[in-house]
Chain A
Amino acid sequence: MTGQFNIPVRVTRIEQVTPMIRRFTLERYDGGQLPGFSGGSHVVVTMRGDDRIHHNPYSLMGSPDDKRHYQISVRRDDEGRGGSLFMHTRVAEGDTLEVAPPTNLFALNRLAKRHILIAGGIGITPFMAQLHELRRAGADYQLHYSFRDQENAAFRNELEAACGRRITTYDASAGEFVQPGQLLAEQPLGTHVYVCGPKGMIQAVNDAAFELGWADSHVHWEEFAAPPVGKPFRVVLQKSDMEVTVPGSSSVLEALEDAGLQPNCLCRGGVCGECETVVVEGEVEHNDHFLPDDVKQTNSRMMICVSRARSERLVLDL
């Protein structure tokens, strides 16, 4: 188990972008350079709350050329386990946080002839970094941005200034919605589509692309999913000779981290494959997008960032 090292950062600026969204500008605590990143990357932010430590992924939305600052935007989620609330209510300018080095699971395809970007709500964040790359490369792109209403149209002015005629906005309160079937029809060969937004939107884009005969490798999506909650269960770690209780509102990964371990992980969303763990005993409730279905059925492996136990006890090869 080799956890990632964290970089201490200082919050240099906080902007209230919409009633629900705050943008945070971060710089290295010692003022030095931050690790580089490409558009679509996220960082895992560690927030030390009073009763629990949160590790939430947030997409980097600033320019990849800016080596001194990272920017993230956090939408307040009152239903969640408190990470986004911590960012909204407890973090002030001048405070310190920790971030892990960026990882990109939602990168632009550099060989694409055209890029179609589809964002729903807070899902606009990874595209804001990608837009820097697309504009610098003089790439052929279109941005389709849908939001609930004008009050929640985060970054709209910035985006319109940057994208000009390449952006189309959709105001759901005015009955405007992205129509993936129309958007993707008759696109030239070499087009790639990228979608980040609510589950239903991601599904609709995938369905339309499939229907139109698009190859999977041209369809890219990122879901801002949080680890699902469930019933508590016990995990036995065979190699470490430990037993840990996973509470209903924590993932296995989080419970192991709370117990002082540092399992491998990157995305914390069941897509990167980094946290794959051998299951010695027990039945798994698989929630990831990584393992093939036949492997899932055998209960021999699990992604501990999102999957849980169906049995009362799991024995892991950790």
Chain B
Amino acid sequence: MPIYELPEDGIRSRPIYRPMQPDVAARFHLMVAEGAGSEALAELHEKLPDDARCSIHYLAGGDGPDGSDRLMQLRCEQTRLHFDDGQLADALRRHLESAAMGTRLYVAGSEDFIWRMAAVGISCGMSEEEIHVERRGSRARPVQCVHCKTRVEGVTTNIYTCPGCGQHVTVRDHFSRRLGAYQSVCVDAEAPGELPPIEEIYR
């Protein structure tokens, strides 16, 4: 079961996200979310078999709704709330380092969040097949400038000024799974200062 699909036409590297489905072959389900991702976890939990073993890590606060109460009600071996995502990532790593084969990781939240948490799973030796992701909440994009490699989280406009090199860069649809980021390239290389209209398109 692939964790996401690639569009058949157009930009092949732009992921398409679908609602997560539980992998019923698994022995343990580890669920991680931030903000609006709590809804995705609640829906996923609903679909789990009754005797399924699971735990939840949730990043409360941040932007988006706080789903803590909802998640605390779900039947689970452990539900842990975190207040910053570095702390969550550390807790996730510790959890995975002591986890056994047969575990699946499910991550829901903004694109930036899900790919950073998926990367924790990959670095613990998980394969893509064992990691399921779903985007919920903001469509803001994590972007890396191709010129100076400066990364910016939560870009909502088609064009922004790169804080690293100061150039006007446009957000492309090419998503690098390795970096967990879209790429941006200079828009006004030919005629500096001449920019197409700036629009907020990733909300």
Contacts and interface: CB of A to CB of B under 8 A. Distances in A.
Interface string B118-155: 00001011111110000000000000000000000000
A190 B129 contact: no
Contacts of A212: 27, 101-102
B129 A189 contact: no
A297 interface: no
Contacts of B26: 213
Contacts of B101: 184, 187-189, 191, 212-214, 218
Contacts of A191: 101, 125
B16 interface: no
A217 B127 contact: yes
A188 B129 contact: no
Interface residues of A, number: 19
B100 A217 contact: no
Given A184-B101, A187-B100, A188-B99, A215 B125 contact: no
A113 interface: yes
Interface string A214-250: 1111100000000000000000000000000000000
A189 B129 CA distance: 13
B170 interface: no
B167 interface: no
B93 to A, nearest CB: 11
Given A113-B124, A217-B129, A218-B127, A189 B25 contact: no
Nearest to A213: B102
Nearest to B96: A189
B183 interface: no
Given A212-B27, A213-B28, A189 B103 contact: yes
B28 to A, nearest CB: 7
Interface in A186-226: 186-191, 210, 212-218
A112 interface: yes
B103 to A, nearest CB: 6
B58 to A, nearest CB: 21
Nearest to B121: A189
A190 B26 CA distance: 14
B25 A111 contact: no
A317 to B, nearest CB: 25
Contacts of B98: 188
Given A210-B25, A213-B102, A189 B124 contact: yes
Contacts of B100: 185-189
A27 to B, nearest CB: 38
B102 A190 contact: no
B125 A189 contact: yes
Interface string A282-302: 000000000000000000000
Interface string B77-117: 00000000000000000001111111110000000000000
Contacts of B124: 113, 189-190
Contacts of A213: 25-28, 101-104
Contacts of B96: 189
A215 B99 contact: no
Contact of B125 (A113, A186, A210, A214): A113
A215 B28 contact: no
Interface of B: 25-28, 96-104, 122, 124-130
7 contacts: A112-B125, A189-B101, A189-B125, A210-B25, A213-B27, A215-B127, A216-B129
